[in-house]
Amino acid sequence: MDEHPKVSVIIPVYNNRDYIRKCVNSVLSSDYANMEIILVDDGSGDDSGDICDEYAGREESVTVYHIAHSGASNARNFGLTNSTGSYVMFVDSDDYIESDWIGKMVEKLLSDDSDMVISGFINEEKNESILEVPGIDKGIYKKDDFVLKILENPYADIFKVIWNKIYKADFIKDIIRFKDELEFGEDFVFNIEYVEKINKISIVDFSGYHYIKYNYDAVSNRHKESFLTKENFINYVKQKILIFHYYKELFEHLDIYVENKNKINDYLIKVCVEEIKRIKSSALSNKDKSECILYLKSDSLVRSMKLDVDDFYYFWRKLYYNIMHLKTA
């Protein structure tokens, strides 16, 4: 076994000139030598692409590709198609890593003979750094056991992102790609499809990835301000339900859906309660509100959820999420 297999570090870049240098410099400063850094300039309108070219011109390990703007999912897919490493890692261009993180992730993957390693990360708020731990005890997990652990806290960030993990390229190949039809949740679905194909996962108690949350929050808040039209609401719900489709498929694939149907469908109960509340309190016309709610309630997966879930469970979870909505309103 190669003790130092090549790692492909894929970094999608879009209009990030203020952050890209810190990001790339942190990866170049890694104490793990055998890696390729793939910068995918997703049609940036600022000079991010030029900065990427600078690095590619002077660093042998850096390759840059310039593509027409098509979103982070397509940029990552382009990077995957052009990667040559045995392992794959992802870094967002406004984040940065610690110098020993990649090496520690590779070492753990090799020593545990695992197919994926998940670490914690450091959540960089504007005024403080917060350590986010996986929420699952460190150790080596068989796939079924790991998935059941995820079910205990399906809303945790640890499994919903890709940049605190290392993947084996052999399981990805040309089979697993980010879904460009998803505007959010694409990392979660990528992880779901990857876990379906592997056997063993390692959870570690160290962290070395710094996630710049305040930059994401600014974008997220701008999106929310212009969100509520009927068309946008229906598209948003459609995306939520599509994510649930992949989530449910994972448990069906492992043949553990029936005995866990209540907890699995809890995701959809939460979506229904929160989105109906949100649409009712919006400024939309009564006609548009009715059409939005009808769309949600008539979806086949929502109807199936109501049939699958035990009546009492459905009642008390709806009550719980309604109470939680009142507390946060």
C-alpha distance from residue 16 to each of 13, 92, 211, 215, 243 (Å): 6, 10, 15, 11, 28
Single pTM value for the model: 0.92
pLDDT digits (tens, 9 = 90+) for 277-324: 989 988 899 999 999 999 999 999 999 999 999 999 999 999 999 888
Dihedral sign computed on CA atoms, order 26, 182, 136, 143: negative
Spatial distance between the Cα atoms of 133 and 203, rounded to a whole number of angstroms: 10
| 296 and 238 Cβ atoms separated by less than 8 Å | no
Average pLDDT for the chain: 91
Query: Using H for helix, E for strand and C for coil, what is the string for the chain?
Result: CCCCCCEEEEEEECCCCCCHHHHHHHHHCCCCCCEEEEEEEECCCCCHHHHHHHHHHHCCCEEEEEECCCCHHHHHHHHHHCCCCCEEEECCCCCEECCCHHHHHHHHHHHHCCCEEEEEEEEECCCCEEEECCCCCCEEEEHHHHHHHHHHCCCCHHHHCCCCEEEEHHHHCCCCCCCCCCCCCHHHHHHHHHHHHCCEEEEEEEEEEEEEHHHHHHHHHHHHHCCCCHHHHHHHHHHHHHHHHHHHHHHHHCCCCHHHHHHHHHHHHHHHHHHHHHHHCCCCCHHHHHHHHHHHHHCHHHHHHHHHCCHHHHHHHHHHHHHHHHHHC
- Side chain identity at residue 104, one-letter code: K
| 247 and 192 Cβ atoms separated by less than 8 Å | yes
- pLDDT-derived band of residue 218, with 50, 70 and 90 as boundaries? very low
According to CATH, the superfamily of the domain at 7-218 is Spore Coat Polysaccharide Biosynthesis Protein SpsA; Chain A (3.90.550.10)
Q: Which of 65-74, 80-89, 115-124, 153-162 is least confident?
A: 153-162
- pLDDT-derived band of residue 217, with 50, 70 and 90 as boundaries? very low
| Residue whose pair of structure tokens reads 């997966």 in the numeric block | 301
- pLDDT-derived band of residue 170, with 50, 70 and 90 as boundaries? very high
- pLDDT-derived band of residue 328, with 50, 70 and 90 as boundaries? low
Does 87 or 3 have the greater pLDDT score? Answer: 87
